[in-house]
Chains A and B, each alone.
Chain A
Amino acid sequence: MSLTLNHFQLFNLPETFAVDSLMLAETFRELQRTAHPDKFANRSDQERRLAMQHATQINEAFQTLKHPLKRGQYLLMLKGIEMDSQQASAMDQLFLFEQMELREKLESIAKQADPMMALEQFMDSIAQGIEKLINTLNHQFQQADYAACQNSIRKLQFFYKLQEEALNLEEQL
């Protein structure tokens, strides 16, 4: 039966975008203490298989709920809304333009006098952008404005991708 619960139900959380991350981590440890295969090492094959299924499900749920982007996508899916990646063209022009600028900025960092410093500033601005979007999403989910949520989630994807590329650059510097 536990295997059929959705991620929020499994963690005994309300189906909202805002989650208490400390509580989430605490419940995660508590659930794994119960279901992890190590707790069944001395049991029958059947119980060990069952434990692995449950531990897998708990890990998957935790990863999804922990990450704002995955959590947002999952929550939309629960609300019966499919994210359609083809529809990205519907995004507002201003945002896309901003993203292009940020990308150009990232590409120019390596050539600057103090690239580490420039990268740090750049990463800060990305982190701020992400935080702002998360707040927006929180509000939009509360209003049950799922079309707006979809749009914000797409924007969030752009920001995370940019963050990843910035981190890749950091590794190269």
Chain B
Amino acid sequence: MALLQISEPGQTQAPHEHRLAVGIDLGTTNSLVATVRSGMAETLPDAQGRHLLPSVVHYRQDDAPLVGVEAQEKASQDPLNTIASVKRLMGRGLHDVKSVGSRLPYDFIEETETAKGMVKIRTAAGALSPVQISADILHALRDRARTSLGGDLTGVVITVPAYFDDAQRQATKDAAKLAGLQVLRLLNEPTAAAVAYGLDKAAEGIFAIYDLGGGTFDISILRLQRGVFEVMATAGDSALGGDDMDRVIAQWIMQQAGIAEDAEHKHIRQLLSIARAAKETLTDHDTAAMQLQFDNGQHWQGQLSRAQFDELIDPLVQKTLMPCRRALRDAGLSIADIREVVMVGGSTRVLRVRAKVAEFFQRKPHVDIDPDKVVAIGAAIQADILAGNKPDSDMLLLDVTPLSLGLETMGGLVEKVIPRNTTIPVAKAQDFTTFKDGQTAMAIHVVQGERELVTDCRSLARFELRGIPPMVAGAARIRVTFQVDADGLLSVSAQEQTTGAYSEITVKPSYGLGDKDIETMLREAMENASNDAARRTLREQQVEADRVVNALKAALKADGKHLLKRREFETINARLDKLLHLMRGTNPQAIKAAVEELEQTTRDFAARRMDKAIQKAMQGKTVKELDAEIEQN
């Protein structure tokens, strides 16, 4: 094969290759995968034509796990090995888990001093973390996408509730990594829904997205203007959804039927599925008949009217309205400013929810879109763009951080560094000082939440800055910098200003997994699949190199002539040739080194291009004139 020639910038490039990219809605109850094909975003069905994949995994001792409908069928029969609603456990500790009666849903491993952190569940396939279980769901979706699209995926966009905190986001990203997926972006679910809805309706103005799913609630207020989706505020509850409605119905049945608080797991599973069926029935009927038959001979028969149901769930529905008020307030808006309220998530099928939302916003909410599919569709549209299939798209999503980020200060108080609803990416620095004379180290405790006491917020991470020179109390200047990237993930660094003592971490939440854990899990997963780790590494390097090469070629074509001196151009060209040569080899380290070398050489070029682009944007409306000038030169 001949080397790709690039020496004459301005030549037309090879026709654009369509990259396979998908959007994944990893839901509490159901998950979906969608893609853009021939300009149309659509969800992908399995071989039986089913689009929704129940987010249920059944584990067996010596066999691969079952995912979806097949797993769901095992729920009552083998409840402790059949995990549903795992999303509620992502990035969470044991005390966060809700029970039915006195029963926790699974066989959780007791928390000890040494094994604190995210919950782990004992199953036939060993002790599993929610990250591993989610990875199995993602794996099933990846297989579905590959079969249906006929090739490997370039990347995925995975949606998360807007109100997910850092630990929950990090856990989701870890699950994707474990499933062998390249995450292009974590996208907030209401934002994804707004994309699908907004593009479909060519909507402009201010919209509220009310998203009540199986286990999470989000309200986001967005401004849609010429392709820009700007989140103005978001609020919610990451542990509130349809599951909770099922739970209150189940508890009601337990009272009616005289079922003990500590009923067996399988009976509770049965109860929950009857409760769920009754809830769904009540969307179209005024009463739901229920019948219970346990294998211990106990049986019960009864009816739930819609009025009774409404009364049972009212406290839950009411709990969604406070965040609505707060989001409006944070956006600096009143109800009259909202053009339309769009309902998303399966639980918005519940009539009481629609009525209460209509009452609150003083208008009928928009319920015409498929509340199950819209999030995945939006994610697919974003994935298509991020993968580079639509270079001319002017769509842009500007999201916010849902919860305030801060540090622990003296007396267990929280000093907020980044307030909630700040547009991301964002970086903020704050200076702190020492408390005692001669203090040489400082413990940094990063927390997330709105409350003033550390104990009321979620602890994200702790690390230490050492090597502070001994000084009198209050003399040292320690600058702590928070950076939240476009995925909403936080990294924190600390530096003593006079000596430069430095410490940095990407926040691996106390409730998350270490990089080492992930590596071990990946290795195990690959051994199980008899995959070749070395080949995978090589492939990863080739993909990264490919990305660098393509981006550079496009950059040289656009700006090589204006922004590079002849000698610079030649140096870049030589290193590019070298990389192209190495890419066809089998040495991942050599490819990596060549990529780094090339990036080193093109650093100034990249900065000059960015400056030029910003200069153009600064001119605002005169961009077209500027373009014309450049064309003429």
Contact = CB atoms under 8 A, between A and B. Distances in A.
Contact of A50 (B382, B388, B552, B607): B607
B548 interface: yes
Interface in A32-90: 32-39, 41-47, 50-52, 54-56, 59-60, 62-63
A44 B485 contact: no
Secondary structure dominating the interface of B = helix
A16 to B, nearest CB: 17
Contact of B547 (A44, A55, A60): A44
B384 to A, nearest CB: 11
B552 A32 contact: no
B610 A27 contact: no
B277 interface: no
A46 B185 CA distance: 17
**Looking at B483, B486, B617, which has the most chain A CB atoms within 10 Å of its CB?**
B617
B611 interface: yes
**Looking at A12, A34, A51, A60, which has the most chain B CB atoms within 10 Å of its CB?**
A34
A1 B425 contact: no
A109 interface: no
Interface in A1-35: 1-2, 10-12, 23, 26-27, 29-35
Contacts of A55: 425, 486
B617 A54 contact: no
A40 to B, nearest CB: 8
B551 interface: yes
Contact of B551 (A12, A47, A56, A167): A47
B225 interface: yes
A113 B566 CA distance: 80
Given A34-B613, A38-B386, A46-B603, A60 B620 contact: no
Given A43-B551, A47-B606, A37 B425 contact: yes
A43 B551 CA distance: 5
Contact of B552 (A29, A38, A44, A170): A44
B615 interface: yes
A35 B599 CA distance: 19
Interface stretch (B133-141, B393-401, B408-416): B393-401
Given A1-B611, A50-B606, A63 B423 contact: yes
Contact of B185 (A38, A50, A54, A170): A38
A171 interface: yes
**Looking at B228, B382, B602, B623, which has the most chain A CB atoms within 10 Å of its CB?**
B228
B606 A46 contact: yes
A108 to B, nearest CB: 22
B427 A60 contact: yes
B425 A56 contact: yes
B490 to A, nearest CB: 13
B316 interface: no
Interface string B216-227: 000000000110
Given A10-B618, A170-B329, A41 B485 contact: no
Given A27-B620, A43-B547, A60-B427, A2 B486 contact: no
Contacts of A27: 617-618, 620
A41 B329 contact: no
B326 interface: yes
A145 B265 CA distance: 74
B396 A36 contact: yes
Nearest to A27: B620
Given A52-B425, A59-B425, A2 B388 contact: no
Nearest to B423: A59
Contacts of A37: 425, 485-486
Nearest to B600: A46
Contacts of B385: 38
A167 B327 CA distance: 12
B158 to A, nearest CB: 14
Contacts of B184: 41
A2 B425 contact: no
A51 B619 CA distance: 19
B614 A31 contact: yes
Given A26-B620, A50-B610, A59-B426, A38 B602 contact: no
Contacts of B544: 44-45
B550 interface: yes
A33 B396 contact: yes
A33 B602 contact: no
B503 interface: no
B94 interface: no
Contacts of B602: 46
A62 B618 CA distance: 13
B422 interface: yes
Contacts of A54: 610, 614
Contacts of B325: 171
B468 interface: no
Contact of B614 (A2, A42, A46, A60): A2
Nearest to A41: B386
A171 B326 contact: yes
Given A56-B426, A56-B427, A56-B483, A41 B387 contact: yes
B424 interface: yes
B616 interface: yes
A167 B332 CA distance: 11
Contacts of A60: 426-427
Interface in B370-412: 382, 385-388, 394, 396-398
A42 B389 CA distance: 10
Interface string B550-566: 11100000000000000
**Looking at B426, B550, B618, B620, which has the most chain A CB atoms within 10 Å of its CB?**
B618
Contacts of A39: 396
A31 B424 CA distance: 14
B551 A29 contact: no
A63 B599 contact: no
Contacts of A171: 322, 325-326, 329
A173 B595 CA distance: 60
Contact of B485 (A23, A47, A52, A170): A52
A55 B619 CA distance: 17
A170 B322 CA distance: 11
A59 B386 CA distance: 21
A27 B618 CA distance: 7
Contacts of B595: 44
Contacts of B552: 44
Interface in B309-348: 322, 325-326, 329
A42 B329 CA distance: 37
Interface string A145-167: 00000000000000000000001
Interface of A: 1-2, 10-12, 23, 26-27, 29-39, 41-47, 50-52, 54-56, 59-60, 62-63, 167, 170-171
8 A-B pairs with the lowest CB-CB distances in the bound complex, closest first: A42-B388, A41-B386, A43-B551, A34-B617, A44-B548, A2-B614, A12-B618, A46-B599
27 contacts: A12-B618, A23-B620, A29-B225, A30-B623, A31-B617, A32-B396, A33-B394, A33-B396, A34-B616, A35-B613, A35-B617, A36-B396, A38-B185, A38-B382, A38-B386, A39-B396, A41-B155, A41-B184, A41-B387, A43-B551, A44-B552, A46-B599, A50-B607, A52-B486, A55-B425, A59-B423, A63-B422
